[in-house]
Structure 1
Amino acid sequence: MYLPTHFKQENQAELFDLIEHHPLGTLIVMHADGLEVNHIPFELDRLHLPAGILRGHIAKANPLASLLSEPQSAYVIFQAEQHYISPNWYPGKQEHHRVVPTWNYRVVHATGQLSVIEDQKYLRGVLARLTRQHEADQPAPWRLSDAPADFIEQQLEKIMAIEFNIESIIGKFKLSQNRSQADVAGVIAALNELEPQIANSIHKFYPK
């Protein structure tokens, strides 16, 4: 990943926060015939030092399953808020017109070892925690026990738990850090109307 210094984010807490708020990761595994790419909702275990563990599940019918008879090197990308940035938002445009469009975004890239965990108790734990996390804001959160036991067993037979041991992790928070304070103020004002979440991120991460 091309990573200019002013966009580099190495604060592990910030990287972990992004993953937890945007847990759908793009999982990439290279093999003899090319790349296997999947989109997986992950659970992050940030307490597993030094760099954390990601846990999830895949269908046994997924071609990725056949590649995991032994651990494989893999790459995971998480993307948070993003938005187009118009040159019209820069006050500098009115002075010199030497501005162009760009795109602001926040991403985290992680490398590590991906493996299958063939343990039904482990799989149930992953599913229970993921469900609990993402049902938390529901009026009546769904639980595994809400479905008939035999139905759950049938579904469990079709999936397998995966674990990704993070070996390195880095973030690119491209949030107008290379623009003047006046230009950033213009960007934030426009995004407050269009995408307040990224406007808040620009305000938070712009060098003070």
Structure 2
Amino acid sequence: MYVPPAFREEDLPTLHALMREARLANLVTATADGLMATPLPLLLAPEEGPYGTLYGHLARANPQWSLPAAGEAMVLFSGPEAYVSPSWYPSKKEHRKVVPTWNYMAVHAYGPAEFFEDAGRLRDVVVRLTDRHEGVRAQPWAVADAPEPFVRGQLKGIVGLRLPITRLEGKRKMSQNRTEADRAGVAAGLGASDSAAERAVAALIPK
């Protein structure tokens, strides 16, 4: 990922927070059949290793896990993003030398993709993923709510993923390269949007 110094994000807690908030990531590996990618919800274990470790699972029928990968895998996490209109820049009135752009946050995690089939480990990952996403619901569903024979059958249809992170790249592009007045203009433009996602980006622009 191309990361100019103005947009580089290196604070580990900030990177981990974005990874958790992304909810759905993309696992990318280079195989003999070419690049392969799978969208996955992932768990982050921050205490495992210097940058943390990711856990998830893939369908057993997905060939990505069984094809040998060349080198490390990459996991893409996308954060808040929004289109930026040049009409929001006060500097447009001064010199008109402005163009559209995009504000966004992203984290790329790298490391070896390790796949496993052990039923106990798989159950642990599935339970933790379920609890994470069901925990915010008024009446959360739990894996234990399903019949045990059914759960065992479902576990046979997946394989687990463990990816110890060896390096992280983070990018926070939120108009830091613009003047204070231009940043204020972008924040006002996005803040007036009907889109909650665009208003969320407005709140991240430095004052």
Q: Please indicate, yes or no, whether the TM-score normalized by the shorter chain is above 0.5.
A: yes
TM-score scaled to structure 2, two decimals? 0.94
Question: Which position in structure 2 is the counterpart of 1:187?
Answer: 186
| Native 8 Å contact 1:25 1:78 kept in 2 | yes
Question: Which position in structure 2 is the counterpart of 1:12?
Answer: 12
Question: Which position in structure 1 is the counterpart of 2:103?
Answer: 104
User: In the comparison of the two structures, how many residue pairs are matched?
Assistant: 203
Q: Secondary structure at the match of 1:65?
A: coil
| Native 8 Å contact 2:31 2:70 kept in 1 | no
Unpaired runs of at least 5, structure 1: none
Cα RMSD (Å): 1.5
Q: Structure 2 matches for 1:67-146, cutoff 5 A?
A: 67=67, 73-146=72-145
TM-score scaled to structure 1, two decimals? 0.93
| Native 8 Å contact 1:71 1:113 kept in 2 | no
Q: Secondary structure at the match of 2:65?
A: helix
Question: Which position in structure 2 is the counterpart of 1:169?
Answer: 168
Q: Percent identity?
A: 42
Aligned counterparts of 1:145 and 1:48: Cα–Cα separation in 2? 27
Structure whose residues are more often helix by fraction: 1
Aligned counterparts of 1:130 and 1:201: Cα–Cα separation in 2? 28
**Displacement after TM superposition at 1:72 (Å):** 5.7
Aligned counterparts of 2:182 and 2:42: Cα–Cα separation in 1? 36
Runs (4+) off by over 4 Å: none
Deviations 1:69-97 (A, max 9, x none): x8962011100110100001111112211
Deviations 1:23-58 (A, max 9, x none): 311111001221111111100001112111000000
Unpaired runs of at least 5, structure 2: none
Q: Structure 2 matches for 1:41-80, cutoff 5 A?
A: 41-67=41-67, 73-80=72-79
Question: Which position in structure 2 is the counterpart of 1:159?
Answer: 158
Question: Which position in structure 1 is the counterpart of 2:202?
Answer: 199
Q: Secondary structure at the match of 1:139?
A: coil
